[in-house]
Amino acid sequence: MDNILTQQEAMLRSGQISEVDYTLKLKLEKGSQEYEGETTVRFVYSGGKKGKLKVDFVSKKIEILWINGKEETNYEKKESALFLSGELLAEGKNELKVKYKNAFDHSGSGFHKFTDPSDKAEYMHTDFEPFEAHRLFPSFDQPDLKATYELEITGPSEWTYIHNTVPKSEETQGNYKNIKFNKTKKFSTYLFSLIVGPYAVWEDKAGEIPLRIFCRKSLSKYMDAENLFAITKEAFGFLQEYFGVPYPYGKYDQIFVPEFNMGAMENVGAVTFSESYIFRGPRIYSEYLNRANTVYHEMVHMWFGNLVTMKWWNDLWLNESFADYLSYYSMSNGKIFPDALEHFYVREEWAYREDQLSTTHPIAGKAENTLEAISNFDGISYSKGASVLRQLMYYVGEEKFRDAMRLYFKRHAEKNTVLNDFLSCMSETSGIDIRGWSKEWLETTGVNTLSPVRQNGRLFLHQGPSATNGLLRTHALQASLFREKNGKLEEVWKKRILVKGKETLLEENYSGEADLLLLNTEDFAYAKTYLSKESLPILKRSLHTLKDRFSRRVVWGSLWQMVRDAELSPKEFLELALDQGLKEPDLSVRNSHILTKALTVIDNYIPEAEKRTWSDKLNSIAKERSLLAQNPEQEQILWFRILENTSKSPEQLSYLKELLDQKKSIPGIAMDQERRWVILSRLSAYGDPESSKRIEEETSKDNTDLGAKKAFLAKVSFPDPKTKKESWERFLQPKEGDSTDFLRYGMRGFQWNHQKQLLVSYTDSYFNSVISVYETRDPHFASAFGHMMFPSFEPDPNLLKRTQEFLDQNKKLPELLRKDLQQQRDDMQRTLKVLEKYKN
């Protein structure tokens, strides 16, 4: 696979190339798997006519190539690039023109094409981050060669065509439409967008900014455009004023596209979203909040990432950390989701997990090439970077932090930046030299652990070093002391604390007994926090009496860190979850911090012999609670999910089947299409003899692409050697028309913990085939295969040993695979450590 650009190549090229602009002409036909293109690239060259100039380009066929008006055949074409001899170029202005044919992509990236099985409508969308624009047109596909784009497109007249700008002219002749779009502003190639198809559309305005929402026709009945427009308007209302720069790109489109690989993509003025955000039934509050957060996140990118862009992918955090934090921060300043920063605390668990893996990297990381850049779209670049920015805002103050953003945009609009550009703006506005802070936080790895200690009448805070490098850091945080009075926890004090070194004194003369010292209330610091062992009996009695919801979140978050670090018995956590946890009044706390974690503990951190006992307990509670007619809808959704997730015995599965057949019902829970597929997959996984017939019947009722994907998941789940063998072979040798997204659904159904005996032979198959998958398939498929097909149905010292040997013996593994396998190994080590410590 040579579809890679190295940082070295990019630096060399940006030293030779400047003042780039593109003119694109595309022709699309109905029912075709390919399209015609003609691209003109104008640029200034200063390479001294030496060597070769690399132009990134994946194409099926180049028909004619011109350089400066002259047809040229003396060029070299490789899989993903054209190489032009420096002798063919003029010093100064040049024009490269290429006429070509190309094939659509089916991996979710590049120029992806999808046919809706329910109405045979065709949809296309681009997705180019970090290095895919050259799948559509020949380009200098790197972030620091910003350019303008002028697009002309001809295609079927009934299709809608969406681009970064609005059309300047449109002509229809017969069955075809020709559209010329306005020239764009200057931006990086990966932000170019083209979305095509017979989309349904909704329109509105945010002040003077025209807003549109699009989704495919067959999903339009589920689109709650009014809600999404309200969120979009609120976001514009805050961000334009906050950044001190009006929205730079005229119009703002949000398009929900099929088979999208990520949550969303911030293309200039035409943001694409995963269709998973089109809710086909009622959801719980946190899911609505997460969707709104994605809307905010992509809008923050219009400034952080689009207006000012990192020079190269090693500074990806200059895009993602800011979008990740400022989206939650902005929401917390609005009226729709004012509690957003509490949900940011939930998201940080992603950062804590990844920062303790051997694959962690500094926030301001390195990316030697575009493949390595893909692996940096992770919990460090997003969630840890965001958390550290929250810490910085607390440290320098909200106004100074905001003023640094304003200076940054004023100074670097339409340019590319590196770490020091941000640091100098922050240092100027805050009056503090931020470079020392950067060295401590942005340029190191690992997370510190803060614990309360009571000793000799003193109360202090102990800082443990980050595991691999022994670093202690400076933390600004808030701590709160609660005391038990008449069976209730009441706040005694709340303090802002600056933590330096191993010990920080909180109280010199301390005599508290029944106290709970809670570290990092309101979550200003990036650090794991523990609770003292002495406070556990208090929590078992009175945790639910703690009035402040955010503080209750932090208690459960600390308990979870202690379980993962083998500092708290998993059984003790489960006992607390099934007692105090059930008294938790807030559903989103109960869902994210208690019930979801209880399921994870049962699946991973208790011995095999005890899993069924705990699962049955939870199933019984879910069944009992779900039958309470007075429960609000969101609570019912939660209990149904737990009930389904813990149904394993014949009796429990029989109850699900009765729900499916509507012989029994749960108040407020409609047996909609999504729930039907969820139950069918579980029945199939547990070998229900009717499952094959039921899947066929369900497929005939649900003729959507999602129906086909969920049917595939359900079929693959069946515990039968022939089924498993056929699906394994299909993942490795897909049938024609199998998209990456379709195969991902199948992979989700392949491994079930109770099918260990059936699956154990695939351990060899996995290690024999995984290198080839990463070498030959697109990165999104490869990573899905690497994670989902890894034989993780039970933590096993033999599997740990085998994984380590595989890593040791294969020194030249693809980098993405090495990272994915190291993470699997690290997770196994952690799980085995917890199991070993608490096996009795």
pLDDT tens digits, 741-770: 999 999 999 999 999 999 999 999 999 999
For residue 195, the surrounding DSSP H or E stretch is strand 194-197
pLDDT at 840: 63
Tokens linked to 723: 């089924």
How high is the mean pLDDT of the chain?
A: 95
- Going from the C-alpha of 658 to that of each of 161, 513, 672, 679, 683, the distances in angstroms are 47, 52, 14, 10, 12
The answer to whether domain 7-299 has CATH 3.40.50.720 is no
Please check the confidence at residue 2 and state whether its pLDDT lies above 90.
no
In whole angstroms, give the CA distance from residue 768 to residue 778: 19
Q: What pLDDT digit, counting tens, does each position of 554-583 carry?
A: 999 999 999 999 999 999 999 999 999 999
Question: Any idea which fold 447-567 has?
Answer: Immunoglobulin-like (2.60.40)
pLDDT at 605: 95
Q: Are 644 and 624 in contact (CB under 8 A)?
A: no
pLDDT at 457: 86
pLDDT at 606: 94
Q: How crowded is residue 664: how many other Cβ atoms within 10 Å of its Cβ? A: 12
Q: What pLDDT digit, counting tens, does each position of 450-464 carry?
A: 999 988 889 999 999
Tokens linked to 384: 């840890």
In whole angstroms, give the CA distance from residue 608 to residue 796: 11
- Going from the C-alpha of 116 to that of each of 123, 258, 703, 706, the distances in angstroms are 8, 9, 10, 10
In whole angstroms, give the CA distance from residue 16 to residue 660: 65
Q: Are 181 and 168 in contact (CB under 8 A)?
A: yes
In whole angstroms, give the CA distance from residue 282 to residue 683: 24
Question: What's phi and psi for 74, nearest 5 deg?
Answer: -85, 65
pLDDT at 397: 94
Identical fold at 312-442 and 447-567? no
pLDDT at 257: 98
Contacts 24+ apart (CB under 8 A), 112-119: 112/257, 112/259, 113/33, 114/258, 114/259, 114/705, 114/739, 116/216, 116/217, 116/218, 116/258, 116/704, 116/705, 117/703, 117/704, 117/705, 117/708, 118/218, 118/703, 118/704, 118/705, 119/217, 119/218
Burial annotation 388-399 (CB, 10 A radius, 16+ → b, else e): bbbbbbbbbeee
HEC per residue, 458-522: EEEEEEECCCCCCCCCCEEEEEEEEEEECCEEEEEEEEEEEECCCEEEEECCCCCCCEEEEECCC
- Going from the C-alpha of 717 to that of each of 676, 681, 682, 685, the distances in angstroms are 15, 7, 8, 5
Domain definitions of the chain by residue range:
7-299, 312-442, 447-567, 719-839
pLDDT at 809: 96
The interaxial angle of helices 317-332 and 340-355, nearest 10 deg, is: 150
Size of the chain, expressed as the number of residues it contains: 840
In whole angstroms, give the CA distance from residue 116 to residue 822: 38
Average pLDDT, stretch 89-94?
96
Please check the confidence at residue 509 and state whether its pLDDT lies above 90.
no
Instruction: Say which DSSP state 593 is in.
Output: I
Please check the confidence at residue 1 and state whether its pLDDT lies above 60.
no
pLDDT at 30: 96
CATH homologous superfamily of 312-442: Neutral Protease Domain 2 (1.10.390.10)
Residue 501 Ramachandran class (φ > 0 left, ψ -120 to 50 alpha, else beta): left
Q: What is the DSSP string of 604-669?
A: HTS-HHHHHHHHHHHHHHHHHHHT-TTS-HHHHHHHHHHHHHT--SHHHHHHHHHHHTTSS--TT-
Do β-strands 81-85 and 52-56 pair in parallel, antiparallel, or remain unpaired? antiparallel
Nearest residue to 185 via CA among 269, 249, 247 = 249
pLDDT at 242: 97
In whole angstroms, give the CA distance from residue 507 to residue 273: 50
- Going from the C-alpha of 322 to that of each of 134, 304, 308, 326, 749, the distances in angstroms are 27, 7, 12, 6, 36
Average pLDDT, stretch 415-435?
94
Catalytic residues: 298
pLDDT at 101: 97
Do β-strands 252-257 and 209-216 pair in parallel, antiparallel, or remain unpaired? parallel
SS3 for 213?
A: strand
**Chain centroid, CA 776 distance in Å:** 24
Q: How crowded is residue 627: how many other Cβ atoms within 10 Å of its Cβ? A: 14
Average pLDDT, stretch 114-140?
97
SS3 for 42?
A: strand
pTM score, whole prediction = 0.96
Nearest residue to 161 via CA among 233, 212, 204, 227 = 212
Strand partners, 84: 53
Q: What pLDDT digit, counting tens, does each position of 523-535 carry?
A: 999 999 999 998 9
Residue 660 banded pLDDT, cuts 50, 70, 90: very high
Q: Are 158 and 200 in contact (CB under 8 A)?
A: no
Tokens linked to 198: 């017979």
Q: What pLDDT digit, counting tens, does each position of 270-326 carry?
A: 999 999 999 998 999 999 999 999 999 999 999 999 999 999 999 999 999 999 999
SS3 for 253?
A: strand
Question: What's phi and psi for 526, nearest 5 deg?
Answer: -100, 95
